[in-house]
Structure 1
Amino acid sequence: MELLLALVLITIVVARTIRAIRRDGLGHAPAERSQADWIADSLPSRAYADLARFH
């Protein structure tokens, strides 16, 4: 009888844990918003080496 009670309690705890994880979004974080590069006079928002790599 005690074994059956323990199995039921373990099953409930596991089910609630899985449900909580799924509700939380499985740890998914929203993507960061993309913003256009800024330019101040002749200074770019990124290093010149980075700009050359991506273009």
Structure 2
Amino acid sequence: MAYVINDDCIACGSCLDECPTEAIAEGDIYTIDADACTDCGTCADVCPTDAIHPA
């Protein structure tokens, strides 16, 4: 089950370097490629707004 990013995302970039599979794409609100996500949760651990959750 992949993680998802909700509207609380402030596009700060904290999660980008944490993702071991580079599944996160930049934008006004970042997105996670469900096919590339390995459900490790490292992105959610560093998100300052708690915008990243399991789907």
TM-score interval for Structure 1 and Structure 2 normalised by the shorter chain: under 0.3
Q: What TM-score do you get using the length of structure 1 for normalisation?
A: 0.18
Q: What TM-score do you get using the length of structure 2 for normalisation?
A: 0.18
As a proportion of its length, which structure holds more helix?
A: 1
**Higher Cα radius of gyration:** 1
As a proportion of its length, which structure holds more strand?
A: 2
